[in-house]
Amino acid sequence: MQRYDSRWLGTLLITGSAVAYSLSGFFTQLIEQDVWTVLFWRGIFGGLFIGAYVLWRKRSDPLESVCGMGQAGLRVTLLSTLATICFINALKVAPVAEVMTIHAAIPFLTAVLAFAFSGENEGWGTWAASIVAMIGVVVMLDPSASGNHLAGYGFAGAMALSYAAMMVIIRQNRHTSMLPAASLSAFLCAIVVLPFAGPMAVTISSMAKLAMFGTLQFGMGLLLMTLGTRLISATSSALIGSVENPLAPFWVWLAFNERPTIATWIGGSIVMAAVIGEVAIKSQKAHVVMRQVAAAGHRRSSD
């Protein structure tokens, strides 16, 4: 029962993370600042948000929490920072649709890395759902946007591999809190982009929007992803997180009346169906196991 409850909690946390991450396009259009300044303040506010949660939850020496992560925490910090920076740079030099298509490979990469380094093997349902989800994102792809964007593809590939590796490490070290690493990675992102940013040339109105961007989208997304990946498999986390792909244009459509194409609606529906199907399959398997355990306990009590 406890394992079943943990799986559902993990699923809800990762779903919340995907919803938060999907707001990136909304905030990017809402805030009229250069990308490096946005990234700087996004990292600052996101790091403060997660750091405040760690202090509230642990109520202990922050340095002790950081040191308690060990080398795994350092790797998560660096991978998270690399994934964030590569993702933004990929969006700068390649079409969004093509970057998100490479993003759809994260469940596959996560499954391969999880099996190679921890022996965590996924069932056929998760593999099938991952394939269907990737097909859905390919359907969303705009063929007219294709071109020679090798640098963007390289950044997107590095982002996908870094994100997948980060999720595997968090899952491998699920008994150790990686929340300090999430906070540190947000601050590290701000430090890396500072030479290119103009953090003081921001109006009060823009600062309020940047604060929401850093807390609601980046901080909340990273926080929920870090918590949720400890409770379910890394591949399932990556698959559920792919809900971000169809949700991103949906929010932009609602806020700015930027209508998605028919292909976006169809591909997004395929992705959503794949995720819902995978969750339903695992839920059904969990119910079967629970009934078997209950029946075995009943037989023992009868004897």
More confident residue, 256 or 14: 14
The length of the chain in residues reads 303
* Sign for the pseudo-dihedral over CA of 11, 17, 19, 21: negative
Query: Tens digit of pLDDT for each residue in 12-25?
Result: 999 999 999 888 87
**Inter-residue contact 22 to 260 (CB < 8 Å):** no
According to the model, what pLDDT value does residue 191 have?
Answer: 95
Residue 303 lies in a domain: no
Q: How far apart are CA 117 and CA 17, in angstroms?
A: 25
Residue 186 pLDDT exceeds 90: yes
Q: How far apart are CA 90 and CA 96, in angstroms?
A: 8
Query: Tens digit of pLDDT for each residue in 122-157?
Result: 677 777 877 887 788 777 766 665 555 678 778 888
Closest of 149, 222, 184, 192 to residue 69, by C-alpha: 184
Residue 58 lies in a domain: yes
Mean per-residue pLDDT of the chain: 81
Helix 150-172 / helix 96-103 crossing angle, nearest 10 deg? 30
Give the chain's domain count.
1
Instruction: Over range 225-254, report the average pLDDT.
Output: 83
Q: Which two tokens stand for residue 277?
A: 């199907």
Residue 302 lies in a domain: no
According to the model, what pLDDT value does residue 47 have?
Answer: 94
Query: Tens digit of pLDDT for each residue in 56-93?
Result: 887 666 677 777 788 889 999 999 999 988 887 786 77
Q: Range of 105's domain?
A: 2-297
Percent pLDDT > 70 in the chain is: 83
According to the model, what pLDDT value does residue 176 have?
Answer: 84
Least confident of 81-90, 220-229, 241-250, 274-283: 274-283
For residues 64, 65, 71, 74, the Cα torsion angle rounded to the nearest 10 degrees is -120
Name the most confidently modeled range: 2-6, 124-128, 231-235: 231-235
Dmax (CA) for the chain in angstroms is 77
Residue 218 pLDDT exceeds 60: yes
Whether pTM > 0.85 for this model: the answer is no
